[in-house]
Amino acid sequence: MQDEPTPIELTKSVADFLRGDIAPLISGHQAFKLRVAINILDLVTRQLTQEEQSDAAEVERLRAMLGIEGSVTELNRALAERIAKGEVDLATPGLAEHLWATTMDKLAVDQPNYASYKRELGRNP
């Protein structure tokens, strides 16, 4: 077991420093690059916070739908193949719900401000 602070706390402290102390000192193209850098650290923080739980839920859904065991990557590969072969489609019970849940979890990490995501978040699934 590693010591603390956790990677989440460490990453967040760097992002906060760059945002609070460095960003006000920089302008032009470097300021743009700094914003990108901060966005990356924020994304990493969100992923470290959410990934374990969302992957576990995704694996659960995939096992139930496909009836096989495997890692989240292996199961995604299996689902992709079945869709490509036409064995699974939107008429398959659970597929649409699974893809929606998985995609919403991805957006929550990648782009939580994306307008389509915010719109869908406001719906009752």
Partner 1 sequence: MIEAELSRSVRRWCKGATGVTGAAKLSGGASQETWRFDIVHPDGPIGAILRRSPKGYGAAPTRAAGLAAEAQLMQLAFEAGVPSPRVMHVLVPEEDLGTGFIMQRVEGETIARKILRDDEYAAARPLLARQIGGVLAGLHRLPQDKLPELRSRGATQEIAEFERDYRSLNWPKPVFELALRWLRDHDPGPSGETTLVHGDFRNGNLIIGADGVRAVLDWELAHLGDPMEDLGWVCVNSWRFGEIDKPVGGFGSREDLFAGYEAAGRRVDPARVKFWEVMGTLRWGIMCGGMMQRFREGPDHSMERAMIGRRASETEIDLLRLLAPRGS
What is the contact surface with partner 1 in residues (CB under 8 A)? Answer: 33, 36-37, 39-40, 43, 73, 76-77, 79-81, 83-84, 86, 89-90, 96, 99-100, 102-104, 106-107, 110-111, 114-117, 119-120, 123, 125
Query: Which CB, 64 or 80, lies closer to partner 1?
Result: 80
CA torsion 16-22-28-30 (nearest 10°) is -80
Query: Which CB, 4 or 125, lies closer to partner 1?
Result: 125
User: Measured from the CB of residue 44, what is the shortest distance to partner 1 in angstroms?
Assistant: 10
User: Would you mind telling me the total number of residues written for the chain in this entry?
Assistant: 125
3-state secondary structure of 5: coil
- Pairs from 113-119 (Cβ < 8 Å, separation ≥ 24): none
Pairwise CA distance, residues 79 & 9, whole Å: 35
In a 13 Å sphere around the CA of 12, the CA atoms on its Cβ side amount to: 10
Query: Which CB, 5 or 77, lies closer to partner 1?
Result: 77
User: Measured from the CB of residue 1, what is the shortest distance to partner 1 in angstroms?
Assistant: 30
Query: Which CB, 8 or 76, lies closer to partner 1?
Result: 76
